Chain A
Amino acid sequence: MINRSDVEHVARLARLGLTDEEIDRLVPQLSRILEAVGKLSAVDTSSVGPTAQVIALENVMRDDVARPSMSREAALAEAPIREGGLLRVPVVLEEGR
C-alpha cells in the first residue's frame, strides 16, 4: 500500500529524520494501518459534509487592542543560538554538500 519511497517523500515533507531501520519497520506498519483506515472508503457519506469542529461556535473574535509583549529576554531565553537581540539559524547550504 505504501512503499519505501512514499515514506521517504513524506518524511522529507515533515522534515523528519528516519534511519534505514526505521523506514524498514515503518513501511509494513504503515501499510497495515493505511489498509485499516482505508476501509472508510466503503462508508456511504454521500449525505453528509465534513465536520471540522464538533462545537457549534462561530464568529469568535477579539477586540483590536494591543497588550504588552514578552520581554526580549523571556522570548529568547530558550533559543538554541542567539546573536544579540536576534535568533540565529543556519541557512540552506548549496547542493552537493
Chain B
Amino acid sequence: MPGTLPLADRTIAEVGELLRRREVSSRDLTEACLGRIARDGERLNTFLAVGEERALAAADAADAALKDGGGADKPLLGIPYALKDIFVTRALDDDGQPNGGLPTTAGSRILEGYRCAYASSAEERLSNARAVLLGKTNLDEFAMGSSNENSAYGPVHNPWDDRLVPGGSSGGSAAAVASGQAFFATGTDTGGSIRQPASLSGIVGFKPTYGRVSRYGMVAFASSLDQCGPLVRSVGDAATVLQALAGHDPRDSTSVDTPVPDYGAALTGDVRGLKLGVPREYFVAGMEPGVEAAVRSAIGVLEGLGAEIVEVSLPSTDHGLATYYIITPAEASANLARYDGVRYGLSAGDDDLIENYVRTRGSGFGPEVKRRIILGTYALSAGYYDAYYVKAQQVRTLIKAEFDSVLSGVDALLAPTSPSVAFKIGAKADDPLLMYLNDACTLPVNIAGLPGISVPCGLSDGLPVGFQVIGRAFDESTVLRVADAYQRAAGFIDLRPPTAYG
C-alpha cells in the first residue's frame, strides 16, 4: 500500500501531492534522498558526484515557491532527481571560473573532473521545472554497455542484490531510483540503456521517439539512435517527467518541431478496443523461463482489461544485433574523436603530437570503448564501408519498414525487455558478444527510432522482470496509456528492493 512505503521510495505523484498540501517540504524529500545516498551510495556506487549544498539550497528555494502557492502547475517543483553523468552540467561561469556546478565524466577517465562551460537541455529544462538536482549518476563509459560494469569509476550494484548488475548503461540512474536515492533520474537509451536497467532494477524506464527530446548536451555515443528519457517508479511519473523533457530545441537539428501532447491525459486506464501485437521473434531461444512467464502474464492482464492481443511477426528482428553493432560503433568512433587531449580532458603530455593522441586515448578509454572504436573505425574504413556500414543502413530500412507495417495494423507491441533477470557482476565480462545479447529485445526499437517503455511485471527467482510496450513514432500517449493501465491493474507499482526496508 502506497502509504506504508518510506518517503524516499514513493512516487513523484504521491510526494508531489504531499508537497502541495505542505505535509512535507522539499527539504524533507531532499534530506531523505541524501540520507539514502549516504547509507547506500558507496555500496551501490550509484553516484559519481553529489552536490549536497546546492541541492539543499534548491530545495529551500522550492519550499519558498511552494509557500507562495507556486506548486499548482509545476509537478516537479521541489522533487529531487539525478542526471546520468552523460548529460553535461554547467560547472564554469561566464568568466571560466568554477561556479559550484557538478563535473561531467561520461563514466570515463578521459573526462575525469571535467568542468563543462555550458548546460545540457536536460539540465535546463529540469531546472526550469524547479526540480532539485542531487547529483550525477554512474554509467557505462560513454553509455557503452548493458551492465554498468564498464565505468572507469567502478561498477554499479543492483539494490535488489548487490552482487548483481543493475543493467546498463544507465545503471546508476536505475539503481538510484530503485533504492530511493532519487525520485527520478534521466537516462539515455541507444540500444536499451534506459529500458534494460529499468527492467533489471524493477522500475519504469521510458525511451521516447527519436527526435522527441533534445540531444543538446548529451555526450554523444551513436547520434542516430541516442535518446534521453526518464527512469521513474510509475508510468504516471514517466508521463510527468517526459512532459518536462520533450519538445523542440533549435540547437538540435534532429529534434522535431511537432507539438507535445498532454501526456497526463493519456493515463485513462482504459485499453478497451486497443489492438496489441506480440512479436513472436522477441521470445528468443535463450530467454529465462521465469522472465517469459512474467511477460506472458502481463500480456494476459492487458487482455483481461479489454485489449485485443494478436500475434505478429517481425522477421528482421534477428538482424537487429548485427545492424546495431555496425552502426553504433561507427558513429561512436567519430563522436569520440574529439577526446584528443587538445582542448580539454585528459592529456598525456607527450612531446610528439601523434604519441600524445595515442597515449591520451589509450589510457583514457576503457576496454569496451576501445573495442567499439576499433570495430566502428574498421566498419567505416576503405574497403569495408559498403560491406558493413552501408549494408547495415540498408537493413535498418528493412527493420523500420517492418515495424511501420506491423504498427499500422496494431496500436502498440508488447514484448520482453530483457531475456534475463539481473546477473552476477563479472559473469559476462569476458564475452562481449554474450553481453551484447542483453539488448536483443530493446535495440531494434532504437534502430527504428520508436518509443518504448519498460514496466515491472513480476519477479523471477526474487529478481525483477520488466516488459516492454512499443509504440508508433510520436505516439508516446498510447504507450503510456497501455503501460499505465497495466501497472494500475497488476499491482507491481509498490515493488521495492530491500533498501526500502532498511
Contacts and interface: CB of A to CB of B under 8 A. Distances in A.
Nearest to B367: A22
Interface string A24-46: 01100110111011111101010
B347 A80 contact: yes
Interface stretch (B180-188, B299-307, B370-378, B485-493): B370-378
Contacts of B374: 7, 10-11, 14, 16, 26, 30
Interface in B264-302: none
B432 interface: yes
B394 A60 contact: no
A51 B322 CA distance: 15
A15 B358 contact: yes
Contacts of A97: 352
A19 B319 CA distance: 33
Q: How large is the interface on B (under 10, 10 to 19, 20 to 34, 35 or more residues)?
A: 35 or more
How many chain A residues sit at the interface, stated as a range, is: 35 or more
Contacts, number: 194
A89 B337 CA distance: 16
Contact of B351 (A49, A73, A75, A90): A90
A33 B432 contact: yes
A5 interface: no
A6 B433 CA distance: 20
Contacts of B426: none
A61 B349 CA distance: 39
B393 A74 contact: no
Contacts of B1: none
Contact of A30 (B114, B254, B256, B371): B371
Given A17-B361, A43-B398, A52-B393, A89 B353 contact: yes
**Majority-rule SS of B interface residues:** helix
Interface string B114-155: 110100000000000000000000000000000000000000
Interface in B318-372: 319, 321-323, 325-326, 333, 337, 340-345, 347, 349-354, 356-359, 361-363, 365, 367, 370-371
Contacts of B250: 62
Given A15-B357, A55-B449, 8 more contacts: A26-B371, A40-B322, A48-B401, A51-B396, A60-B253, A74-B93, A91-B352, A93-B351
CB-based closest 3 A-B pairs: A17-B362, A54-B449, A50-B393
11 contacts: A14-B361, A14-B374, A30-B371, A32-B433, A50-B390, A55-B211, A55-B254, A60-B254, A74-B93, A78-B343, A79-B343
